[in-house]
Amino acid sequence: MLILLPIIIYLCVMLGVAWKVNEIKHRDDVNFMEEYFIGSRNMGGFVLAMTIIATYIGASSFIGGPGVAYKLGLGWVLLACIQTPTAFLTLGILGKRLAIISRKIGGVTITDLLRARYKNDIVVILGSVIMLIFFIGTIVANFVGGARLFESVTGLPYIVGLIIFSFVIITYTTIGGFRAVALTDAIQGCVMLIASGILFFTILKTGGGMENIMRTIQQTNPQMLTPDSGGAIAKPFILSFWMLVGVAILGLPATTVRCMGFKNSKSMHNAMIIGTSVVGVLMLIMHLIGVMGLAISPGITVGDKIIPSLAINNLHPILAGVFIGGPLAAIMSTVDSFLILSSATIVKDLYINYINPNPDDNKVKKISLFTSLFIGLIVFFLSLNPPELLVWINLFALAGQESAFFCPIILGLYWKRANAVGAISSMIFGVASYIYFSVFKINFSGMHQIVPVIFMSIIVFVIGSYLGEKPDDETIDTFFNI
């Protein structure tokens, strides 16, 4: 039970952070909505970098990814390294533009941005609904993953893990808002880094050094040390990940919304530097551990178990507890971001826009807190017995969001002619064609479906925009006179 000690301390720290920042949003000089949903645009470079990383790195990078690397070898680590430049890509392309524009329009969500750019109710409602569906799918999948991990590490029943876990996350997100989410993300990012470092060096030592480990693998599985894993990872497939976890990340609302929340240019510059190194190191180390596991404990059949089993078998219980904090942190930091975004979507984008345009401050406060709590409870009950549909939605969540939002966000910011007709048609076309291709397993010469979907939705967006009217001067002024 020593293993539980670090986990408990860690969960208490999360709650403590929320408690501390809780005060801020009730101060008189603070705009509640800007504070609760975007932390009053106050993030410094370190917190910005860590929150982008932590939101983006979920259970898959800590448990699933290394599990596949265990099965396929260095080729899968090569694939994971594609994610190294995503932090500087996102910030470099979107950062300052989004920061300036969102301040101009007083926006705190990606939907605010879409509304200001396209001035069209269908874009807003369609966008909000697509986000909510995918967000909730992602939250449930991560909840389930977290509770299962907790179950396998501690031996306590699934339901206990789920209750503790969801209680902590829902509480700190609901009372603390975006600021608590960003701060806990920063702590969680550090925990992930420390955790993976500890495990890496322990395994390195257990295996008698890197060369020794690699030679052992070479003797039994030489194909594990080649870029295509002896043909298991085809080139078109791995190259299409440059789209899926690379360029198209620019269309993920949870990541891009962070570009609205930083304090000044300097924090963005620092975040580009910190973010690139931390993501790179985390991806490299965690996936490499998966491969090294082949030499340390061969013969594990379920890939997902390799990381927890390496941790439990090779680390002192207290250190193992700290380590398990890594994937738990990855999961929690993903869940909290999606939770606060879902509540922002409901309160800000739907309720205030369409139901009650001028609520008083107290009402907004109450509704925001209750919405966060309410969504938290819904996902808790869904996670008790996850319906098949949700598992399916989670599989689609990453690429689905990209196919919906890549064009409206990027082309909206960089192309003056972009308009609502283009946005609506590309959103509908993107999601529909992505679902169609995936369900019927339509494959384009071995590439992931996201590649053709993004290219086609760009074409649809351009055609649609030329069919519709030019955007008015005011919109052009807001978005391009910066």
> Is 444 strand, coil or helix?
strand
Could you say which of 38, 183, 214, 347 contacts other proteins (CB under 8 A)?
214
Among residues 265, 313, 356, 445, the one that binds other proteins under rule CB under 8 A: 265
* Nearer residue to other proteins within complex by CB, 292 or 379: 292
The DSSP H or E segment spanning 218 is: helix 210-220
The Cα 102–Cα 7 span in angstroms is: 38
Q: Which segment (109-117, 258-266, 346-354, 366-374) binds other proteins by CB under 8 A?
A: 258-266
Nearest approach, Cβ of 217 to other proteins (angstroms)?
10
Contact between 245 and 84 (Cβ < 8 Å): no
DSSP per residue over 283-319, as a string? HHHHHHHHHHHHHHSTT-SSGGGHHHHHHHHHS-HHH
Judged by CB under 8 A, the residue of 184, 188, 276, 426 near other proteins is: 276
Total site size for other proteins, rule CB under 8 A: 43
Q: How far is the CB of 339 from other proteins (least distance, A)?
A: 27
Question: How far is 103 from 214, CA to CA, in rounded Å?
Answer: 52
Q: What does the angle CA 309 – CA 313 – CA 314 come to, to the nearest 5 degrees?
A: 115
Q: Which of 273, 300, 378, 435 binds other proteins (CB under 8 A)?
A: 273
**Minimum CB–partner distance for residue 219 and other proteins (Å):** 11
Residue 454 near residue 248 (C-beta atoms within 8 A) = yes
Task: Specify the residue for token string 């099965």.
Answer: 71
List 4, 13, 24, 89, residue binding other proteins (CB under 8 A): 89
Rank residues 78 and 296 by Cβ distance to other proteins and give the closer one.
78
**Beta-carbon contacts of residue 87 (< 8 Å; ≥ 6 apart):** 49, 52, 53, 271, 272, 275, 276, 278, 279
Structure tokens of 337? 């971001």
In the bound complex, what is the minimum distance in angstroms from residue 455's beta carbon to other proteins?
A: 17
- Residue 31 interacts with other proteins (CB under 8 A)? no
Q: How far apart are CA 132 and CA 111, in angstroms?
A: 12
Q: Which of 327, 323, 300, 322 is nearest to 64 (CA)?
A: 327
Nearest to 183 by CA among 14, 373, 376: 14
Shortest separation between residue 253's beta carbon and other proteins, angstroms: 20
Measured CA to CA, the distance from residue 269 to residue 212 in angstroms comes to 40
Least distance (Å) between residue 73 CB and other proteins: 10
Tell me the per-residue interface mask from 225 to 244 with other proteins, x by CB under 8 A, - otherwise: x-x-------x------x--
Length of the chain: 482
194 binds other proteins (CB under 8 A): no
Q: Does 446 bind other proteins (CB under 8 A)?
A: no
Q: How far is the CB of 238 from other proteins (least distance, A)?
A: 8
Residue 219 as a binder of other proteins (CB under 8 A): the answer is no
CB of 259 to other proteins, least distance (A): 11
Query: Considering only residues 222, 298, 387, 446, which one is a binding residue for other proteins as defined by CB under 8 A?
Result: 222
Shortest distance, CB of residue 83 to other proteins, whole angstroms? Answer: 11
For 90, the token pair is: 């996102």
Query: Which runs of consecutive H residues, i.e. helices, occur in 24-95?
Result: 32-38, 45-56, 59, 65-72, 74-80, 86-90
Q: Find the part of the chain contacting other proteins (CB under 8 A) among 48-56, 204-212, 380-388, 399-407.
A: 204-212
| Closer Cβ to other proteins, 235 or 363, answer by number | 235
Q: Which of 19, 32, 46, 96 binds other proteins (CB under 8 A)?
A: 96
Q: How near is the Cβ of 415 to other proteins at its closest, in Å? A: 13
- 159 φ, ψ (degrees, to nearest 5): -65, -35
Q: How far apart are CA 146 and CA 354, in angstroms?
A: 36
Judged by CB under 8 A, which of 23, 28, 211, 388 binds other proteins? 211
**C-alpha separations of 36 from 174, 209, 372 in Å:** 9, 48, 11
Token code pair at residue 155: 């031996």
The residue within the footprint of other proteins, chosen from 26, 205, 266, 366 (CB under 8 A), is 266
- The position carrying tokens 């569906």 is 133
Stretch that binds other proteins, among 18-26, 31-39, 97-105, 457-465 (CB under 8 A): 97-105
State the residues that interact with other proteins by CB under 8 A.
Answer: 74, 77-78, 81-82, 84-85, 88-89, 92-93, 96-97, 99-100, 103, 209-214, 218, 222, 225, 227, 235, 242, 246, 264-266, 269, 272-273, 276-277, 280-281, 284, 480-482
